[in-house]
Structure 1
């Protein structure tokens, strides 16, 4: 029972407070790993045929140094507080609150859809640039809506459901390891000359940690597609299109999510001045402002489904 209480408190804190505006622990962690990257990410004087392997090894060591001590501290605190249920519940709730971004995700999405409804493309372009990495200066209404909808669906898994999953499975250390690895992937997981090999370990570890949560999120999106009568569409999109996407975890999530709200995502997008042609995800109408709100509703409905499933599992465990 303490598990669901902890989760509800964490979600309540996130709903009422949002992300901390100052002194967020992940900001301090980002500064720490910036220093690690500058220290480790070099292979000067090494032969070309050994350089890639060396950078992978150094990236793996940097990953362990960044995550290991903080994860051990989280484990130690959890064990210390285990005999004090009230303190343990409160501490777990605070850690989980700091690891999720439910309200922030919805707020960013609404900051895009609201000006789109009013035809204010300039404001919408600025707002969508805060949550996507593609070029946004010349996006039209449909392209803005597509970028925002894709981001909401994908980040629903990363910013909410995966953190919940690892907290349920492995407690405070689990969610700490997940959030730190996800942050490292966001900082080091680029496929460019600087991070292609050094960031390899961070990217692969994040893929591993997201493998099961991503598919549980896709399942929740599929089931919640019943709200719009799109469950079959979501399932078919997931089954046929997920494997075409470059990310093994984003593919199932975005395909199922797009099908569940009845829109077609993917297609061409501009990144750093270069056009990329991406596979189509989902099936239905072209995304518009309402699609962003539909994606937010899908995340919220899926969260309710997750909470119901957690309560059911706790009940079954109690009566077993």
Structure 2
């Protein structure tokens, strides 16, 4: 079955069902990653080499498993669809951000602050309407890149193994890629791998956003503002 048909099937599943309510593979993977981090970064004392080892243990076996299952006769195409479906978060993203927009339209700032807190890690209790709208918009832009476009890109490049490798790496970056005392050294590998895997998709996303909006202005913002973000990939997408 062609990559296009498999992609359409997975996107249709996401639109119809949304994220799995129970036994989501990424939730289970997150718990697994927490245990690995406790083992290799106990007390926040892990070094870069520990982070590399932890990344390999967390990601490579599952990627190889996805490869083996995707090559299985008769059922390989089902594995491909399920792998992409579990990596997508398009409907979920809409379900999280729509209540923020509705609350802002209703001038219910408290509700908007509460709902946007589900999307971002920053403190939201003191945000004004503009700041709430900005936080929600930034979350949609970045998660649209990570949980939709990049997943589709890596599926097109390498099928189920590609999308599993990408989504697990992206999840580890979200868990370990912080520049703080605990993760500065240990999370270095997870952050760098995610930067590499997102480099091309993020720029294709930025170009797509530009083509769907005010193209000339968007490209100017990308050129003049993209480098001001700490993340090399969030910059073009946000700008």
Query: Which of the residues 55, 63, 74 maps onto 1:63?
Result: 55
Give the aligned partner of residue 202 of structure 1.
190
- Runs ≥4 in structure 1, deviation > 6 angstroms? none
8 A contact 1:100–1:160 mirrored in 2: yes
Residue by residue over 1:209-241, the C-alpha shift from the partner in whole angstroms, topping out at 9 and shown as x without a partner, is 00000000011111111xxxx111011011111
Give the aligned partner of residue 13 of structure 2.
13
Deviation at 1:160, TM superposition (A): 0.4
**1:70-85 equivalent positions in 2, closer than 5 A:** 70-81=62-73, 84=74
TM-score w.r.t. length of structure 1: 0.73
**1:154-173 equivalent positions in 2, closer than 5 A:** 154-173=142-161
**1:150-299 equivalent positions in 2, closer than 5 A:** 150-225=138-213, 230-255=214-239
C-alpha separation in 1, matches of 2:42 and 2:98: 42
Deviation at 1:172, TM superposition (A): 0.5
Instruction: Answer with 35-44 or 188-197: which moved more.
Output: 35-44
Deviation at 1:43, TM superposition (A): 7.9
**1:36-185 equivalent positions in 2, closer than 5 A:** 36-42=36-42, 55-81=47-73, 84=74, 87-185=75-173
TM-score w.r.t. length of structure 2: 0.97
Deviation at 1:8, TM superposition (A): 0.7
C-alpha separation in 2, matches of 1:201 and 1:14: 30
Instruction: Give 5+ residue unaligned stretches, structure 2.
Output: none
Instruction: Give 5+ residue unaligned stretches, structure 1.
Output: 45-50, 256-320
Deviation at 1:88, TM superposition (A): 2.8
C-alpha separation in 1, matches of 2:123 and 2:43: 32
Q: Secondary structure at the match of 1:80?
A: coil
Specify which structure has the higher proportion of strand. 1
C-alpha separation in 2, matches of 1:71 and 1:163: 14
Deviation at 1:72, TM superposition (A): 0.7
8 A contact 1:40–1:59 mirrored in 2: yes
Deviation at 1:169, TM superposition (A): 0.3
Higher relative contact order (CA 8 A, sep 6+): 2
C-alpha separation in 2, matches of 1:94 and 1:62: 26
Deviation at 1:174, TM superposition (A): 0.4
8 A contact 2:69–2:79 mirrored in 1: no
**What is the total number of aligned residue pairs between the two structures?**
239
